[in-house]
Amino acid sequence: MDDQFLFSNNVIGLKEIANEKYCLTFKKQFGYKAGQVVQLTCNRSIEPRLYSLCSGEFDQQMEILFDLKLGGELTPKLVELNPGDRLYVSHPYGQFLRPTPEKMWWIATGTGIAPFRSMMRSGYEADKILHGARLEEQFYFSDEFKTAFGEKYVRCNSSTNEVGDFQGRVTNYIESVKSLPKDIKYYLCGRSMMVVEVRDLLIARGVPFENILSEIFF
């Protein structure tokens, strides 16, 4: 399937779930695998951008979680969409998640949680889910993760003092773990600096780089 080709689609809903963070739902035209991305735009004259699907394989709609970039070309247009408006979306593609016999840790900051929400809703299990953010509202889908994973879901809160959260960044959490599992798979997702720092830290603590898979939202 040509993932460069854009299919006409329609908006089902748009919701601001936190300041300048939105969930956009649209028609499910194709089946897909958890962790896949789509190219998406709302106007043929604007180059499509890549988005990780945050909906699960069995959901009836497709969904993305996106960050409004005030100076950006596409996202300021996306936030003005209404139900029924036209979207152009590619066939989902990519293979971030590899079903493996090994256990997994999922590590994200910000909207990087999107592919892990897709994995969770598709029934995949993780041994640990670390989500880093600065504000309570930025722990997107927190209730869903808590329900599905309980104690395995750790919110790394780098500024506010919420009861039950780990106080500090995801890197601080990893540093605090006495014996880090080496023979499991680590999935990292988010902006480049977090991914690079976490990857370096895991490698420094003895995790083989072959066990670390990173998706960067560049």
Partner 1 sequence: MFLNEYNESQEYNYIKIKCEMTNLSSNISKTEKTPLFGKTLSELSEIVAELKLPGFTAKQIASWLYNKEIESIDEMTNLSKKTREILSEKYCVGLSKPVKVQVSTDGTKKYLFATQHGKYIETAMIPDKERITVCVSSQVGCKMGCLFCMTGKQGFNGQLTSGEIINQLRMIDEFKSITNIVYMGMGEPFDNLDQVLKSINILTSDWGYAMSPRRITVSSIGIIPSLKRFLVESNCNVAISLHTPFENEREKLMPVQLAYPIEKVVAEIRSFDFDNQRKLSFEYIVFGGFNDTPAHVKELARLLNGVKSHINLIRFHPIPGTPLNKTNEKRLLEFKEELNKKGLLTTIRASRGQDIYAACGLLSTKGITTEA
Q: Taking the complex as a whole, how short is the minimal distance between the CB of residue 55 and partner 1, in angstroms?
A: 19
- Is residue 198 close enough to count as binding ligand FAD by CB under 6 A? no
CB of 33 closer than 8 Å to CB of 41: no
Contacting partner 1 within 6-35 (CB under 8 A): none
Please report how the helices 142-149 and 114-121 are oriented relative to each other, as an axis angle in degrees rounded to 10.
Answer: 40
Q: Is 191 exposed, middle or buried (0-12, 13-18, 19+ CB in 10 A)?
A: middle
The residues facing 65 across adjacent strands are 23
* 50 touching partner 1, by CB under 8 A: yes
Of residues 1, 4, 31, 71, which one binds ligand FAD by CB under 6 A? 71
Q: Which of 59, 67, 136, 197 touches ligand FAD (CB under 6 A)? A: 67
Task: Tell me which of 36, 55, 75, 109 binds ligand FAD, using CB under 6 A.
Answer: 75
Contacts for 64 with CB less than 8 Å, ≥ 6 apart:
23, 24, 38, 40, 51, 52, 53, 54, 114
* Tokens describing residue 30: 């194709």
- Within 86-145, the residues that bind ligand FAD by CB under 6 A are 111, 114
Q: What does the binding site for partner 1 look like in residue numbers (CB under 8 A)?
A: 3-4, 37, 47-48, 50, 69-72, 94-96, 109-110, 134, 169, 190-197, 199-200, 203-204, 208-210, 212-216, 218
